[in-house]
Amino acid sequence: MIYTGGTIGMRKDIQTGALVPFDFSRLIDQIPELQLIDKKIDTVSFENPIDSSNIQPRHWQLLADIIAENYDNYDGFVILHGSDTMAYTASALSFMLENLSKPVILTGSQLPIGDLRTDAKENIITSIQIAGSYNGEKPIVPEVGIYFEFKLLRGNRTVKASSEHFNAFDAPNYLPLAQSGVDLKFFRDRILNPPDGIFNVQKNLVENIIVLKIHPALTKDYLSYIINIPKLKAIILETYGSGNAPTEPWFIDLLQSVVTKKGIHLINITQCQRGSISPEKYETGRKLMAIGTFDGKDMTTEAALTKMMYLLGKKLSKKAVKSAFERPIRGEMTI
């Protein structure tokens, strides 16, 4: 169990009243139930636990290192993480942990572990059970998941959907991998098969990527400014509906120059909460396609961003990046 911080282990600062992370040993003391689990649990903590709003790619690299160093010695891994950016971390890890064939389950809570009404205990205990669920020699969930409020979701399909409900996460385009009720029920046909290759970690992530939401007040000046950011490698365009954007000449010309003159990758995903892009449907999507935008299908923003960070880190040819981006490599998109 790896503790990174988040509400789960926070306490109220006496002076300000704000929630701040506290150290891990005090968190463990709050869950005597852990002694009752018939698994041997070792724990490791970030030296300085963080509110997950402070997460950075270097933290993902640290998590990947911890998992790699301990990979052969454990049946599975549980990462305690703040909910704000859990979907980004889960998505990033799903790509970085190549040929993963053990469970890596992220969880956290909406109320601190010390709160009488906390949701933390059930989340932690069931996550540990999922991470340790095997069918003989085979782990039942050989992939990165998020367990929260009775549901196990595929990590790279997940978004934080509520800031107030215990049921904080949603996987808008993929059904849950497991449901916890009286029984812990796994939906095996939705879970990835373990890959054949040897486990490997790819830590090289390219960070010069922008997420740009298209909106009616987007101006030429603003777009020109963005595309001229030095060293920019990719722009994830959150487009309207099924992958549509304005067809005004200044808009199309600027984006065209991004691809042809600057060699920046343009990715098309929808800003809708559910569903996929189908840019061929409307003229407004076809113009984007003609520019050479990558088809993000039904990927979440979190998955599209971290997948590009990962693929660009591989230093592939432009064509290879596009073809890898447009097909599912960890179950992150529907084709």
83 scored as a contact of ligand ASP (CB under 6 A): yes
Nearer to ligand ASP, 84 or 143 (CB): 84
Query: Taking the complex as a whole, how short is the minimal distance between the CB of residue 34 and ligand ASP, in angstroms?
Result: 20
Query: Taking the complex as a whole, how short is the minimal distance between the CB of residue 51 and ligand ASP, in angstroms?
Result: 4
Query: Taking the complex as a whole, how short is the minimal distance between the CB of residue 225 and ligand ASP, in angstroms?
Result: 30
51 scored as a contact of ligand ASP (CB under 6 A): yes
Give me the DSSP letters along 232-267.
--EEEEEEBTTTB----HHHHHHHHHHHHTT--EEE
Q: Which residue is nearest to ligand ASP (CB)?
A: 82
- Interface segment toward ligand ASP; rule CB under 6 A; list 38-46, 80-88, 98-106, 264-272: 80-88
The identity of residue 208, as a single letter, is: N
Nearer to ligand ASP, 145 or 296 (CB): 145
Q: Does residue 80 contact residue 22 with C-beta atoms inside 8 Å?
A: no
Q: Which of 84, 170, 238, 298 binds ligand ASP (CB under 6 A)?
A: 84
Q: What would the two tokens of residue 148 be?
A: 């929260």
Q: Does residue 318 contact residue 265 with C-beta atoms inside 8 Å?
A: yes
Nearer to ligand ASP, 93 or 235 (CB): 93
Q: Which of 49, 82, 139, 279 binds ligand ASP (CB under 6 A)?
A: 82
Nearest CA to 30 among 104, 80, 82?
80
Size of the site for ligand ASP (CB under 6 A): 11
Q: Does residue 141 contact residue 103 with C-beta atoms inside 8 Å?
A: yes
Q: Which of 1, 3, 7, 80 binds ligand ASP (CB under 6 A)?
A: 7
Q: H/E element holding 213?
A: strand 209-213
Query: Taking the complex as a whole, how short is the minimal distance between the CB of residue 166 and ligand ASP, in angstroms?
Result: 11
Q: Does residue 91 contact residue 14 with C-beta atoms inside 8 Å?
A: no
6 scored as a contact of ligand ASP (CB under 6 A): yes
For residue 71, the 8-state DSSP code is G
Q: Are strands 77-80 and 104-107 parallel, antiparallel or unpaired?
A: parallel
Q: Distance between CA atoms of 52 and 86, rounded to whole angstroms?
A: 7
Torsion of CA 19, 23, 24, 26, to 10 degrees: -90
Q: Which of 52, 129, 158, 276 binds ligand ASP (CB under 6 A)?
A: 52
Per-residue binding string, ligand ASP, 87-126, x by CB under 6 A, is: ---------------------x-x----------------
- Interface segment toward ligand ASP; rule CB under 6 A; list 2-10, 60-68, 137-145, 146-154: 2-10
User: Which residues are bridge partners to 170 per DSSP?
Assistant: 159
Q: Distance between CA atoms of 67 and 176, rounded to whole angstroms?
A: 24
For the question of residue 7 being annotated catalytic, the response is yes
Binding site for ligand ASP (CB under 6 A): 5-7, 51-53, 82-84, 108, 110
Which residue numbers are catalytic? 7
